[in-house]
Every structure is written in structure tokens, then in C-alpha cells.
Structure 1
Amino acid sequence: MTVETFHARQALLAEGWAEDTRISVQDGIITGIESGVAPAEGDQRVDHLLPAMSNHHSHAFQRAMSGLAETRGSGTDTFWTWRDVMYRFALAMDPDQMEAVATQLYMEMLEAGFVQVGEFHYLHHDRDGRPYAEIGEMSERLVAAAEATGIGLTLLPSFYAHSTFGGLPPVEGQRRFICDPDGFARILERCRALAASRAGVNVGVAPHSLRAVTPAELEQVLAMADGAPVHMHVAEQIKEVDDCVAWSGLRPAEWLLQNAPLDDRWCFIHATHLTEAELEGLLAAGVHMGLCPITEGNLGDGISRSRAVFEQGGSFGIGTDSNVSISIPDELRQLEYSQRLTHHNRAVIARQGASTGRELYQGARAGGSAALGVSTDLGAGAPATFLAFDTAREPWLQRDRLMDRWIFGTALRPDGLWVRGRQVVRSGTHVERERIEPRFRATMTELMSVTGLI
């Protein structure tokens, strides 16, 4: 039995900021919180302590192509031209390389302040498209990366069967993604077995999108969910919406509202192009809005209706998706600034008189964790998972001013981060960075050569 105590000069609890807070932890679980008490001998002392953030949407292998798809082509560049570069990396990566890239990525997420990641995983098979001898090989590598870094992991194996709406055959570049329902069931079974014996790992299901899944297949995948989170790409691009209308006469969110059992297990990733009626229906059903502002901006997808989500009390979170940038402030700042540019005013995602930085952070933290089916609260019975800031160099940054400076400035980074009671980031750096980073650099040299980008 391991018992520890932490003392925070300021702690952001569910009811707000509290001074001189002691948190008791036993075997990685918070057993008690007491405020207004002096530090005691043996306490681990921190300055400002925050509940930590979940990253609800990641494609780990895409970290390898960060910054490598920014050369303009001869025509108009869109998501669909970016996807061609993505396929080059998807078709090149072997399991060892996947593990090296994911380990580097998860380390960077922890240093940024993310403590749980939803891994929307569709790189299932070998490079020729045939299943590995161990069908869950790539899922195992993701779990190994999470264990090496300490991050919490929500495995979201993706069912992907078709190239576009109407059940059309997949294209050659998608060969590593493709499953039939029986094959997907075996991958899901392996993911659940991996999670069963590991703290901090849970499993959901991810029907990729309406363009990649037929209605009958969607029904089969949902039957496998067994109450777990359900994540799905929905209405990310205008072309996707137009193609869905051509196929069904309905927009993607409209089709799902009429044909799927939507509830608070569901997270709609992106949900960029929604009508007012669609958004109202989704929020009434309890669907979480899975926003990925940096990726949506990078791909030119469009601007979400986040202001309406906030004003209607909807649940939203942030995800790093393509992993072109790993930053909580960058995601939240992009989210807020896109709304300011749309609505021509400031402090959009905040109640009157409230700190925008704190409102953005608390909203995304709560929604992202709920979408992954985990808790990142600072409360008794929750995992001892939190991050700390030291304001010694800028003592005027207290409480909400710290939150606003972190989200809208550039100088602050978390100093320390604990996951289930284990400190994995110290003085802003992951404790295993010197071991993890050289493997990633060697892997990137290999991948750049194989993909012809070097």
C-alpha cells in the first residue's frame, strides 16, 4: 500500500479555487481532500494544482507526418489532397515504427498536460493489407506506448470498410484499415483483453464515418459496443455533407439523428457543419461534440458552432487528431479565436464576469473525459491525476489570471504532472524523454527514406 500527500497553495476544485489544499492518495487513488490547512512534513508541495485534461481524439501514426504536408500542389489543396500524404505514411509504417511514433507522441501529450488519450485507431493490418498473425498487433503497440509513458489510454478501434457512401469498395490506399464485422469483433476482443489487466486503459468503438460504414454494418458495430463510448467522424468537410445528401437525401448528422440510437455514449468528432436543428437534436440526445480546432484549421475543414454548444450547455472536448501540434493552449485558443472572428466579439466561450481561459479549460476537460468514459476530477475516489504550475517567476499570475495567461499567452507550461499518483513530468520534461526521443529520431529517418520524402 502506497500512501502520499500533496499540498497545493492553490487548487482548482469542482467548486472553484481553494487555498492550502491537502490531497491524500493511496495506491494512485484520491482518498481525501481538505482545504485551509497548512503544509505538513512529508507533503509534496506544489503551487497551483489543476485537474488534468483528456485528449478525446488522436491518430497516433500521423504524428510522423507533422509539418510534412504543407507544400502547395498545382491545384486547390484540401483535406482530400492532404489524405494522399497521410496514406503514404499509413502504408509505410511497421509495428516497431508505430510504437516508436506513438511513444514519442504520448510523451509530448503528457508534457503538454494531457493525461488521457482517445486513440481512434484504424491502422490495423500489415502493409499488404493482410491481418497480422496476432490480429491486435497494432493495438498492442499502442498499449505498449501508453505503458512506457504513463498516459491513460482509451482504445477506440475503428471499423472501416468502404471508400465512400453507399458501400463502395475501398481504394488501394485504405488496405490497412479495412475490416469486415467478424474481423473487427476479433480486434475489439483483443483490445478488451489488453485493457482488462491494465490500469488506465479502457475501450470504446469507433465506426469511422458514414462514408466508411454501411447502415447494416453500423448496426452490427453498435451491437458490439456493450455500453462503451462510441466515437464517429461526422460532418467534417462540406464534400462529406454533399456526398451524404446525394446518397441518402439527408445530411450526416440528420441521418444519424433519424437512424441511430444516439445518447451520451456518443461523441461526434469534428461536427463542423451542423444546422441549428441538428445541433439542438444532438445536444438534446446528450451527444458530446469532439472538436479538434488545430486539425480543422490545418485541413481547412471549417469553423464549428462552438458558441452555440456552450450557450446551450452542451458537452465539448478537444482532440489533437492529426497531431500536427500537441498543445492544450493552442487548441483552446484556436477554438476561441475562430468564434471571435465569426461573431466579431471577444470572450465568446465564457459566462459574464468569468475567466475565458478557465471556462474553456474546465468545459473541455469535463466534456473530453465524459466522452472517453473516464474521470479526471479532483475528488475522492478519482485517480490521482493532475498537473501543477509554479508561479514563482511571475507571482502576479494567480488563479484565473494564470489560466488566462496559459491559454492566451506563450510563456507558461505545466511544471509537473501526475497520472494515478505517479509523477511522469518533472520541471516540464517527461522523466523518460532521454530514452524515448532517440528511438523516435531513428524511426523518422527510416520513414522519411521509405516514403521518399528525404
Structure 2
Amino acid sequence: MKAAARFFAELAWIDGRWQRDVLLHVDACGQWGQLLPDQACPPDAQRLAGPVLPSLVNAHSHAFQRAFAGLAERRETEQDDFWSWRDRMYGVALRITPAQLKAIAGQLYRELLQGGYTQVCEFHYLHHCEDGSRYDDELAMAWALAEAAEEVGIGLTLLPVLYAHAGFAQPALRADQRRFATDAAWVWQASQRINAAARPLLNAGVALHSLRAAHASDIRSLQALVGDTDLPIHIHISEQQAEVQDCLAATGQRPMAYLCNEFAPDARWQLVHATHSTPQEIEQVAASGAGIVICPGTEANLGDGLCDLPGWLGLGVPISLGSDSHVTRDWVQELRWLEYGQRLGLQQRNVAAQPQSEPSTAVRLFEACRAGSAVPAGLPRWGLQPGARADFLVLDRLASGLQGLPDAALMDGLVFATQTNAIAQVYVSGQCRLDLGAAAAMPDPAGSFLATMQALHGKA
């Protein structure tokens, strides 16, 4: 148990708007108690140095791919797309050891804290030894991620992935996918073991890699094991046009329609990417209660395409953000990419705004992602509200893009005008995990990330 604490903020983002002179109570479990606006600062409260904003959940991460960021930005053949990128990424995945994964994840999780995330959902399929055999502890790679997160102080939702097939018509995996091989029983047992460990800030759900990698019998087997257990269920879906065409050829249906018609997803389900959709599929997903996870930086980097953001927002489908391959690692960039992609594609401005209810593009996007943050992580609530974990960001009011703005425009300036990180401090469960003034206190421990990068890729 932690000691209870009280904070005072001249501005705090509560109920979708800035409120003034807020006294924030953190209980002994590290959760929010009362949040009271229009208060005087009592002597025993810690006065925070800037506006207080909820953090966000990073709902989709492949931590090992941080070691590949920046290494696929050359084209030396006539064709380069997601599938050629994937083949090159596998070359890195096949070489990473548990110790190296811990070093990579430690670097990444520090960067995610700096980017305003305090919980990360790890879509984890790098399970086995380099030759495909099992570690003595089959969760060795999962524990490496958990240890990295614990040392950094970020919350972690581990999602062991069911990955059994190389494609819709393939009975098994390719040789270069050998480290990923699992079935429903393995995934369920892994999730159970992780939750039973009862480590601080750690929990687990389950994931299916994709419809091409988890066939109907795999999905039904995992659904039978999960039953009514209240935990998140994630799946990649409709990321690439080739995947859509393959699904049509194999099932006669588009991916999201097939998922909804055959497997009845519910509010626990998180559909990652959901890039290529029809209005009818959006209606089906909305009716199911499932959420989507958009990863704008990665989707741009891989040339995936643009999602139908107005369609998803218009039907109130829960939305969260992910950094996926980690070419971008802060949510301000992700929201900017999300809106700017829509502007370029539709040749309009302020696509995500809703004049009748929320004219601010930044506010509507941020609030949608904040409201959609809890379920992907398997948490009961998120944000500055009683009972949620006391995670929050303290903004630097003098940062580029915020300085001189009126209070009402702070969110717009943060998302669309900042040129450098505007986050001064990051708190997780009521404890300061990052202080910009002490950023040097969060170095790469013993140079382990640099050593890992040199071992994987050679010296510069």
C-alpha cells in the first residue's frame, strides 16, 4: 500500500474540459479519490507546476520492433510494401534473446512515458527460442517485457498471441515464423500465469494474430477457454488490401464482416487497424460493442491506407491509439498523423471536429481515445475520475506551441502546434515516474539498449 497523497492543479482536464483550482486526492491504492475544482491549495497538497492532463493507454505495441525502427526506409527493388517490410522485420525477430528484448523494451517504455503513455498493451507473439524450441520457462520473453516495464514504472497489459498459420489456406507457419507458434491452450495458459503472478501494474488478456493466422477452429477454441472472463481480446484486422482480398477468396466475406457474422465479438474485443472497411462493416462493429485501435504512425509508415475516421466516430465506436512498430512513440504525434491523414485524403480541414457538440478537433480526438483507453488494457476506468488509477501528465505551459495560448486553446496547441515535447512530468499510480528536469535520471541502464542494437545490427 502507498501513502495517500493530495495534489493541487491550477488547471486540470476533468469531464472533457479544463477546470480551475483542482484538489486531487490519491488514495492508498494509487487510485483517484475526490477531484474537487474551485478549491484553495491546502498546505499539505503538492502544487503541480502546470496544467494536468490524463495520460493515454498505448493499446498496441510490438516492443521488439523498436529495434527495427529506422532500418526499413530504403527501397532497393521495384516493389516495397507491407509484405516486404514484414520479411525484413522477421530477420530481426529471429535473433533477439530474452535479455536483448528486456533492453529493447526498457528503452521503448521510457520513450513511451516521455510520449505521454502510462500503460502499454503488448501484442506479444515473440515467444520461443531462435530455433523455435521452447524455453525452459515458456514465458521467458513475456517476463523480460514485464521486468522492463516494472523497472521503468509503466503499466503493462500482456497479450499472448495465438499464431498458428501462415495464411488463410496454410495448415502451418512458415519457417521464419517458428518463434511465434502457439495454439489456444498455450495462449490461455500464458494469460492465466501472467495474471496469477499478481505483479504491480501488470495484467494480461489474450490476442489472435489475425484471421489469416488464427483460423475458425483456433478462434472458437480460444473463445471457449475465455468464456465470460472479463479480459481484453485483441486481433489485427483489415490492415492491408491483400488481406481483405484473401479473406474474401477464403470465406466469401470481408474480414470485419466475417468476424462479426461468425464469432460475435463483444465489448471485450479490440480490432487493431480496421483500416479497410465498408459502412456496413462499421455498423456491424458498432452494434457488437467492440472497439478499434488505430496506429496512425505505423499505418503511414507501412503504406496501409487511411481508415474511415468519420465513419467510426460518427457511430460512436470506441477508439484507442497504438504505436505498433514504434516509428512514432508519443500520442501527440499519433493524433496529429490521424487528423492530417484525413485532411490530405479528403481535402478538408478539421475532419474529426463535430460543430454541434465539439468543434475542437484535438479535444474530440483526445477524448475519444481517453474514453477508449480502459477496455483495451483490461482496466475498469481511465482518466481523471474517481476509482481510476492516478496516472496523469503535467504540461509545460512555456513549451513551444503552448506559450501564450488561452486556456481554451491549450489542447489544440498541444496537438497541432507543439514542436518539442510539452510534457514536464509523468505520474503513474500517484508517483512521479518522469521529470523533464531530471530526464538524465532515466538513461539506458548500463548502455544495454546500445549494446543490443550493436549486437543485432553492427556498430555505426
Q: TM (normalized to structure 2)?
A: 0.94
Give 1:242's aligned residue: 245
Counterpart AA for 1:17: W
Give 1:402's aligned residue: 410
What SS does the corresponding residue of 2:180 show, helix, strand or coil? coil
Partner residue of 2:54 out of 43, 51, 55? 51
Contact 1:241 1:251 in 2 (8 A): yes
Q: Percent identity?
A: 38
> What is the rounded CA distance, in whole Å, between the counterparts of 1:412 and 1:85 in structure 2?
31
Number of aligned positions between the proteins:
449
Q: State how 1:341-352 maps to structure 2 within 5 Å.
A: 341-352=344-355
What SS does the corresponding residue of 1:118 show, helix, strand or coil? strand
> What is the rounded CA distance, in whole Å, between the counterparts of 2:353 and 2:437 in structure 1?
28
Partner residue of 1:121 out of 110, 119, 124? 124
Q: State how 1:58-97 maps to structure 2 within 5 Å.
A: 58-97=61-100
Partner residue of 2:454 out of 435, 438, 445? 445
* Residues 70-101 of structure 1: per-residue CA shift (max 9 Å, x gap): 11031210000001111011001000000000
Give 2:207's aligned residue: 206
Is 2:389 the partner of 1:386? no
Is 2:356 the partner of 1:355? no
Partner residue of 1:427 out of 436, 440, 448? 436
Q: TM (normalized to structure 1)?
A: 0.95
Is 2:294 the partner of 1:306? no
* Residues 373-427 of structure 1: per-residue CA shift (max 9 Å, x gap): 2232212222111001131465522434221111112244210110001100112
Partner residue of 1:416 out of 413, 419, 425? 425
Give the gaps of 5 or more residues in structure 2.
none
> What is the rounded CA distance, in whole Å, between the counterparts of 2:396 and 2:34 in structure 1?
23
Counterpart AA for 1:56: A
Instruction: Give 1:181 shift.
Output: 3.1
Query: Which deviates more from structure 2 when the two are superposed, residues 105-114 or residues 378-387?
Result: 378-387
Instruction: Give 1:443 shift.
Output: 1.2
Instruction: Give 1:287 shift.
Output: 1.2
Quote the RMSD (CA, aligned, Å).
1.7
Partner residue of 2:167 out of 164, 169, 193? 164
* Residues 41-79 of structure 1: per-residue CA shift (max 9 Å, x gap): 232222200111110000000000110011103121000
Partner residue of 1:189 out of 176, 183, 192? 192
Contact 1:166 1:214 in 2 (8 A): no
What SS does the corresponding residue of 1:32 show, helix, strand or coil? strand
Is 2:225 the partner of 1:219? no
- Name the CA shift for 1:428/1:73 in 2 (closer, same or farther; >3 Å): farther
> What is the rounded CA distance, in whole Å, between the counterparts of 1:199 and 1:399 in structure 2?
36
> What is the rounded CA distance, in whole Å, between the counterparts of 1:318 and 1:259 in structure 2?
26
- Name the CA shift for 1:243/1:329 in 2 (closer, same or farther; >3 Å): same
Give 1:330's aligned residue: 333
Is 2:39 the partner of 1:31? no
* Residues 96-139 of structure 1: per-residue CA shift (max 9 Å, x gap): 00000001101100011001111000000000101110011111
Counterpart AA for 2:89: M
Give the gaps of 5 or more residues in structure 1.
none
Counterpart AA for 1:387: L
Contact 1:112 1:413 in 2 (8 A): no
Instruction: Give 1:185 shift.
Output: 3.5
Query: Which deviates more from structure 2 when the two are superposed, residues 151-160 or residues 182-191?
Result: 182-191
Contact 1:135 1:186 in 2 (8 A): no
- Name the CA shift for 1:79/1:188 in 2 (closer, same or farther; >3 Å): same
What SS does the corresponding residue of 1:12 show, helix, strand or coil? strand
Counterpart AA for 2:159: L
Give 2:382's aligned residue: 376
What SS does the corresponding residue of 1:301 show, helix, strand or coil? coil
Counterpart AA for 2:204: V
Counterpart AA for 1:448: H
- Name the CA shift for 1:437/1:86 in 2 (closer, same or farther; >3 Å): farther
Query: Which deviates more from structure 2 when the two are superposed, residues 219-228 or residues 257-266?
Result: 219-228
- Name the CA shift for 1:412/1:440 in 2 (closer, same or farther; >3 Å): closer
Give 1:364's aligned residue: 369
What SS does the corresponding residue of 1:263 show, helix, strand or coil? coil
What SS does the corresponding residue of 2:443 show, helix, strand or coil? helix
> What is the rounded CA distance, in whole Å, between the counterparts of 1:184 and 1:363 in structure 2?
30
Contact 2:115 2:421 in 1 (8 A): no
Q: Provide runs of 4+ in structure 1 moved above 6 Å.
A: none
Counterpart AA for 1:381: G
Counterpart AA for 1:41: P
What SS does the corresponding residue of 2:7 show, helix, strand or coil? strand
Q: State how 1:269-288 maps to structure 2 within 5 Å.
A: 269-288=272-291
> What is the rounded CA distance, in whole Å, between the counterparts of 1:50 and 1:431 in structure 2?
23
